[in-house]
Amino acid sequence: MRVATAGGESGLSPERIGSVRAGRPAAFVAQLRRTPVAFAFAFVVLSTALATGAARGLEVQGALGWGRSTLQTPSAWWAAATSLTVPDSAVDAILSIALALTVLPIAERLLGSARTLVSMAVAGVTALVVGAAVQSILTGLPEVSEIATRETVLDPAIAISGAVLAASALASALWRRRIRVVAFAVLGMFALYAGDVDSWFRLIGALCGLGIGMLFARRAPHRPWHRSSTRETRSLIAAIVAVTAAGPIAALISGGGRGPLSMAAMSFAQFDQHLVDRCNADYTRLCDHQAALLVTRGAGPAILAVVPLVLLLLTAWGLRSGRRAAWMLGVVVNAAIAGLAVLSIAFGGVVFVDPDNGAAFEWGLWAVSSIGVPAGVLALLIITRRRFAVAAPRRAVRAMLGIVSAAFVACVLVFFLVESLFPKAFRVRPTAMDLLDEAVRRFVPPAFLQGVGELPYPHMGAGLAVYQWIGVAFWAVVIVAMLHVYRATRHPDDVEPHSATVYRSLLRRGAGTLSFLGTWPGNAHWISADLEASVAYRVVNGVALAVADPLCTSARAARTLREFADFAYGRGWTPVFYSIHEDYLPDLHAMGWHTVSVGEETVMRLGDLELTGSQWQKVRQPLNRAEREGMTAHWTRWQDLSASMAAQIVEISEQWVADRGLPEMGFTIGGVDELNDPDVVLLLAVDAQGRLQAVTSWMPWWERGAVTGWTLDFMRRREDAPNGVMEFLIAKAALLMKARGAAALSLSGAPLAGRPRPVPEGPAEVPTLARFLGWLATAMEPVYGFASLFRFKSKFHPEYRTLYLAYADPVTLPAVGSAVMRAYLPDASPREYLAAMRSIFAGAAGAQAEGRRR
**Confidence band (pLDDT; 50, 70, 90) for 468?**
confident
The phi, psi pair for 136, rounded to 5°, reads: -65, -40
What pLDDT shows up at residue 115?
Answer: 94
Closest CA to 604 of 788, 800, 757: 800
What pLDDT shows up at residue 1?
Answer: 39
> Each residue of 320-361: pLDDT tens digit?
888 889 999 999 999 988 887 777 666 555 555 554 444 555
Helix (H, G, I), strand (E, B) or coil at 246: helix
What pLDDT shows up at residue 164?
Answer: 95
What pLDDT shows up at residue 167?
Answer: 93
User: How many whole angstroms separate alpha carbon 87 and alpha carbon 152?
Assistant: 12
User: How many whole angstroms separate alpha carbon 442 and alpha carbon 470?
Assistant: 7
CB-CB contact of 645 with 684 (8 Å): yes
Residue partners of 15: CB distance under 8 A and separation at least 6: 756, 759
User: How many whole angstroms separate alpha carbon 36 and alpha carbon 268?
Assistant: 45
Q: Which of 3-17, 191-205, 446-460, 667-681 is predicted least confidently?
A: 3-17
Mean pLDDT of 449-453: 56
User: How many whole angstroms separate alpha carbon 637 and alpha carbon 682?
Assistant: 5
Biggest CA pair distance of the chain: 109
Q: Is the pLDDT of residue 771 over 90?
A: no
**Confidence band (pLDDT; 50, 70, 90) for 536?**
very high
What pLDDT shows up at residue 462?
Answer: 74
> Each residue of 165-206: pLDDT tens digit?
999 998 876 678 778 888 888 888 888 777 778 888 899 999
Pick the residue with more confidence: 150 or 527?
527
What pLDDT shows up at residue 732?
Answer: 92
CA dihedral 123→128→132→138, nearest 10 degrees, is 50
User: How many whole angstroms separate alpha carbon 263 and alpha carbon 369?
Assistant: 6
Q: What is the mean pLDDT of the chain?
A: 77
Q: Which of 128-137, 208-217, 273-282, 629-638 is predicted least confidently?
A: 273-282
What pLDDT shows up at residue 385?
Answer: 85
Give long-range contacts, CB 8 A cutoff, 24+ apart: 183-190.
185/239, 185/240, 185/242, 185/243, 187/161, 188/243, 189/243, 189/246, 189/247, 189/250, 190/250, 190/259
What pLDDT shows up at residue 600?
Answer: 82
Question: Hey, what domains does the chain have and what are their CATH numbers?
Answer: 35-226 (1.20.1540), 278-488 (no CATH), 492-592 (3.40.630), 602-753+761-800 (3.40.630.30)
Angle, alpha carbons 215-221-227 (nearest 5°): 105
Q: Is the pLDDT of residue 74 over 70?
A: no
> Each residue of 568-595: pLDDT tens digit?
988 888 899 998 999 999 999 988 898 8
What pLDDT shows up at residue 131?
Answer: 84
Identity of residue 507: L
**Confidence band (pLDDT; 50, 70, 90) for 210?**
very high
| Identity of the highest mean pLDDT range in 514-528, 645-659, 809-823 | 514-528
Mean pLDDT of 298-303: 73
What pLDDT shows up at residue 232?
Answer: 66
Q: Which of 45-54, 146-155, 259-268, 276-285 is predicted least confidently?
A: 276-285
Mean pLDDT of 149-172: 85
Percent of the chain with pLDDT over 90: 26
**Confidence band (pLDDT; 50, 70, 90) for 307?**
confident
> Each residue of 136-148: pLDDT tens digit?
776 655 555 555 5
Give long-range contacts, CB 8 A cutoff, 24+ apart: 292-296.
292/454, 292/457, 293/446, 295/457, 295/459, 296/457, 296/458, 296/459, 296/464, 296/467, 296/468
CB-CB contact of 5 with 794 (8 Å): no
Q: Is the pLDDT of residue 766 over 50?
A: no
Mean pLDDT of 607-616: 85
What pLDDT shows up at residue 233?
Answer: 75
> Each residue of 799-832: pLDDT tens digit?
888 888 899 888 788 888 888 878 877 766 666 5
Q: How many CB atoms lie within 10 A of CB 295?
A: 12
What pLDDT shows up at residue 660?
Answer: 57
Q: Is the pLDDT of residue 795 over 90?
A: no
| Identity of the highest mean pLDDT range in 231-245, 361-375, 674-688 | 674-688
Percent of the chain with pLDDT over 70: 69
Angle, alpha carbons 716-719-721 (nearest 5°): 80
> Each residue of 222-248: pLDDT tens digit?
555 444 456 667 878 898 898 888 878
What pLDDT shows up at residue 725?
Answer: 92
Q: Is the pLDDT of residue 497 over 60?
A: no
What DSSP state is assigned to residue 515?
Answer: G
CA distances from 195 to 189, 199, 482 (A): 9, 6, 33
> Each residue of 744-764: pLDDT tens digit?
999 886 555 555 544 444 344
Mean pLDDT of 454-464: 66
What pLDDT shows up at residue 455?
Answer: 58
- Crossing angle, helix 432-441 and helix 394-421, to 10 degrees? 140
Locate all alpha helices (DSSP H) within 368-498, ordered by sequence: 373-383, 394-421, 432-441, 461-487, 492-495
What pLDDT shows up at residue 758?
Answer: 44
pTM over 0.85: no
CA dihedral 713→717→719→724, nearest 10 degrees, is -110
